[in-house]
Structure 1
């Protein structure tokens, strides 16, 4: 029995989410990513492509190429919510699902042709995703993951493409060698130096030549160029950690700014835990100095998702870790060892009003945005503004909860 692999990819996912929330962005050039000079483009609308903008590009360069675009920092919580909605739709319909990223999915439909018809099934699944989520999505269908992924990229935007069994090489032949997954800029330049730019040339090359030039990776590239890929679908499981990082536009030793950043990240991640019905048992803090040396410390803790338990632990780790007093380039916080559960009252130091406070805060955040209500300790110059948040309180500042350190 031949394999049938479906690859689904949400088109310019972050941009599509922003447009779903604000229709004024439709048909306008939109760029989502870090808005500072060191920021990177996370997603760019098709309107920006003609200017040379693409994901992974430095935001500074994107501004020079397309200065009239709408620049948005983005909201990780919003994108996670939409991704989860699409994941649940797909997971309820396919036998085996692999979630390759927040906006990319593989499904093994092998054997379904005898009952339904894989292409018809995939088409109806795509229509359902568009109808229920409002997000554009493309798919490719073939006998393996590589050809399906390339087919999806050729089908975009918002379209679909099936490569019939036996036509994989013919489909790949006229395409650029850059279309093959794992062929990055360095490998592509090596091919260009050899006078090779298209896949059909690689298809005609002896495997021994590829091995002599690229080593063991040469076999993988050669097989993928010939439409050969036996990699299995890795069944989707819920993530076991969540994290947040902040790269400063200018390296700093401002301790107030650093502590505000740490507290803001910890508070937001705790909210993400509660919203997802998760508890964490391990806290990690990471520091990257201006010389790019990176250090981290972690601590095991009792399962919790409460701000007033997690934030002091994060601060304790930071104070123990930050000992070099050099300029800091990046800070990060990670909660791992996740398990399903909800925050429970600690009989020794919590009160019922604490739980009620969290419920009220989270209700406001879910309705109006992650940063609509926050602790005073998480405000200030070092706090990261998450998303393109419009305050619902008639232009008034966000609600601030005073936080007293014991």
Structure 2
């Protein structure tokens, strides 16, 4: 059986590091990205800021109290997207198989390469190339599976590298708190703490049948992770780049409210789909077709997001720019492109703590009871008309 060589790469304090490229005066100072000292939440922060107990998703006002001399920056979306593309191109050109899991995080599979090269040396050279060509600090961990590789990266930060060799996984993991296991949520940790299971070494000694009785199938998965067992594959970075939907009217319309209401409903649907697939979009487009089949499209770059309150104003703006309001429309469509994997955290630039909680609550309800169980009033209006823009043939 082939020994697996899985590399996890993470760009250190990515947003802060990008801003420092453009303003070296920020180096060595506590920097907070997202909002201002009065409103919003922390999207990212420098290691200097973390020393004061600041972390992502913390309300900006609280962060300002913890570190009054912190430097707040709203964030420059285009810079982060451009830097992410540069790093992706370097990795794409250097390795046979990789998975981009967010704008600043990658998994690489070098399994089988040890017949020709030293995998650790390959990863080391790739890291040095990224640093040299982009000026960004970057860390990596290498191990036999994703779980240990990611934990190794976290141990190697900032701007370091670590190889957990085959057979050393359990010993490496044993001293860490169970909360350091990737994908192990706070509620599960609290439940395990209640049984005196705090360190990964405790998990390693627990009977797997006990964990299965406590947590179901997830119990065995957690036990395997604690043993350093992780056979999950690297999903090639070749997944779809866009999602879209469109609607053809039974009768051409120039009613602005009808068009905006439909666009809101369509945008909500696509945004929910993004979040359900753990994806973000950096480009929004509108498609308009008039009665004579003349078709126009207009697109706009947006901050990486999956949030309606960012997408809906942008799609309304595109409608205003693209539509000759004297001409009835036959077909209208929305497209989200430049997709990448990523969670809701990156939307924190423009969000309040309340907005984040609202989205999570809405998604929980829609996941449980079905899409459109809860939505904006405009989207509900579409539902009440039994007007489904996503039905085939519409």
Instruction: Give TM class, smaller chain.
Output: 0.5 to 0.7
1:44 aligned residue = 45
Please, which runs of 5 or more residues in structure 2 have no aligned partner? 245-259, 272-284, 289-294, 301-313, 322-332, 339-349, 351-394
> How large is the RMSD of aligned CA atoms in angstroms?
3.4
Q: Is the 8 A contact 2:145 2:231 kept in 1?
A: yes
* Deviation by residue 1:275-306 (Cα, 9 ceiling, x = unmatched): xxxxxxx96258x9xxxxxxxxx986457235
**Under a length normalisation based on structure 1, what TM-score does the superposition of the two structures give?**
0.63
Q: Does 1:108 align with 2:91?
A: no
Alpha carbons of 1:227 and 1:73: their partners in 2 closer, same or farther (altered >3 Å)?
same
How many Å separate the matches in 2 of 1:31 and 1:171? 32
Q: Is the 8 A contact 1:98 1:234 kept in 2?
A: yes
1:304 aligned residue = 297
Per-residue deviation, 1:176: 1.1
2:20 aligned residue = 19
Per-residue deviation, 1:3: 1.3
Per-residue deviation, 1:173: 0.5
2:77 aligned residue = 76
Per-residue deviation, 1:210: 0.9
Per-residue deviation, 1:153: 0.3
Per-residue deviation, 1:215: 2.2
Per-residue deviation, 1:67: 1.7
2:335 aligned residue = 336
1:130 aligned residue = 131
2:176 aligned residue = 175
Number of corresponding residues: 280
Q: Does 1:235 align with 2:236?
A: yes
Alpha carbons of 1:72 and 1:241: their partners in 2 closer, same or farther (altered >3 Å)?
farther
The alignment partner of 2:43 has SS state of strand
How many Å separate the matches in 2 of 1:148 and 1:303? 47
Q: Is the 8 A contact 1:6 1:107 kept in 2?
A: yes
Q: Is the 8 A contact 2:286 2:298 kept in 1?
A: no
How many Å separate the matches in 2 of 1:149 and 1:82? 21
How many Å separate the matches in 2 of 1:49 and 1:312? 38
How many Å separate the matches in 2 of 1:214 and 1:15? 38
How many Å separate the matches in 2 of 1:335 and 1:62? 38
1:203 aligned residue = 204
Taking the TM superposition and a 5 Å limit, the aligned residue runs for 1:205-220 are 205-220=206-221
Alpha carbons of 1:140 and 1:189: their partners in 2 closer, same or farther (altered >3 Å)?
same
2:224 aligned residue = 223
1:144 aligned residue = 145
Please, which runs of 5 or more residues in structure 1 have no aligned partner? 244-261, 267-281, 289-297, 317-333, 340-383, 385-406
1:344 aligned residue = none
Per-residue deviation, 1:336: 2.5
How many Å separate the matches in 1 of 2:27 and 2:77? 20
Per-residue deviation, 1:75: 1.3
Alignment partner of 1:284 out of 263, 267, 273: 267
How many Å separate the matches in 2 of 1:168 and 1:158? 22
How many Å separate the matches in 2 of 1:56 and 1:241? 27
1:35 aligned residue = 36
**Under a length normalisation based on structure 2, what TM-score does the superposition of the two structures give?**
0.64
Deviates more, 1:211-220 or 1:2-11: 211-220
* Deviation by residue 1:217-271 (Cα, 9 ceiling, x = unmatched): 212211111111111111113663499xxxxxxxxxxxxxxxxxx9xxx9xxxxx
How many Å separate the matches in 2 of 1:37 and 1:188? 33
Per-residue deviation, 1:338: 4.2
More RCO (CA 8 Å, sep 6+): 2
How many Å separate the matches in 2 of 1:129 and 1:178? 30
